[in-house]
Chain A
């Protein structure tokens, strides 16, 4: 057999792919959180951050998008193949089932993974493709009784010493008002609900996953296992607290829509 095919079709080869894709996704969700937490600062920060991402040179945005999609595809594909093989390996289950050691998060990886995947599809429809019914995108986003233009100049408020950014041809630069869009999203309780459940399950997924991937790659032993398990739990809980702080702050009115003078 071709050695590459042999590696990828072996049980361990698939586990390596699962662990490496899991590692990349774990790093991505951390980076994504750091980006999102800019919502707590002046709208200028998250809006210009979003602008920069959307205007990366050399079409890097699409490279990143397709790269992430490929990583998710590998992760989901390996999880499906491995799970089906595992089912086949025990056609007759035990009359009495017991668990000696395995944590709840390790036993619910499939459920948490599937729900996180469904959320991911919703999330992309919501903010990347922008076609979730219930609130408008594009020209204007309406919240309560105020209407703001969704396309806003990327500038620091003049009160803080900002100046209008100009393109080389002298026009003002425009980008999406991500700040307002995020608040608009979390003004719908059902969106906040879905988001909190998904982020909680992601935390659960990573409480096992982040330690497990070290074992799958042969980089864990009994000396480091306790610390890695603790690290995984802290990583998961930290992400949960970080991500859920945003809708909570919106609900409590800590983050408010800020009109940018025309």
Chain B
């Protein structure tokens, strides 16, 4: 029997992991909603305009990319381009080599997760330390992030305390404050020893060449205060047209991601430090990374390139909450990942083509998305593509719709099926000879069957509508 892989994963998920993910994402969503609606009379209008701005950028990348490059260079930034993950990693490595750099500190960047930069550099003898607390814990555990904003949403404090102990960061102590202080003491010396600081970018503005970075912990600021060389790895879709658009997007990003008005640190970088300032990079590099994005741009799902990686769609998604991020088997989990991951996979698309099916199409992801991406529509388009390309992963556990259409168009067959439904209340699903149903049911419980009663109700019902009308006119 073929299972949807994500179902399989969800079914095998440890109960405490599911609980961590469920409560973490639910809390994130509730905070986001109350803050947005409390602060703004019409938050949906903000989302709509932000979506239009980003859609404009996506559809004009051919002019924006050379424009932003020229602006960055005018600001003294050295610009590199990388078609693939490998080329991006090589570009970073050659910057390090040119400086004789051996140690790098790294802020959280999703694009470096895509390219697996850390492993790449470590194999070449570079010490590459993750500095975001969550990413640091992921690194010492050899794990993968399971959320794009809260990478260790799947871990509890006991697991973290055990990892710290194993990693020589003090005796077991699972108090979150102690954990954080130990990381603080350990990591600040890593920043000060490092030759290079690597970050991503939340936005890069075409008009000014400003690279905009947001963090809460202050780790990317430390990377940029302690080291002499800054490398920003940036996906080619991260552009905003004008500085003033930051006024909209920053407000939306923080509220959607973490329910804050603003992230604690919002940094605007135009290039190397100014002369009187002692701290900070003398050299600033930008590596623009394609890694499949231009193919997404050519597809009928290019709207996903609007994404600003806020994580709101993960937090609200009923499938994500049950299955956790690792179930998506890729860097981007949740609804955004169900669209983006198979697309970025290029030739490996069929292997991830089941992800677009990991959705009930409830539409909640679209409703919370700060750039108003129509994720359910994109999921449908990708389901089509999966079918066209005959992906086996996508076909797993698909119910036979041909049988459904016969049943729904022949009254006799329908009656029989409704009777069959009643039998299901007493007959375990494993005895019903429909493999897709068995697969579905193996991981879920069906509610008691109550179907088939509509027609008899229609024949025998009273006519209350007329009574109500006459009662009203009498009153």
Are A and B subunits of one complex?
no
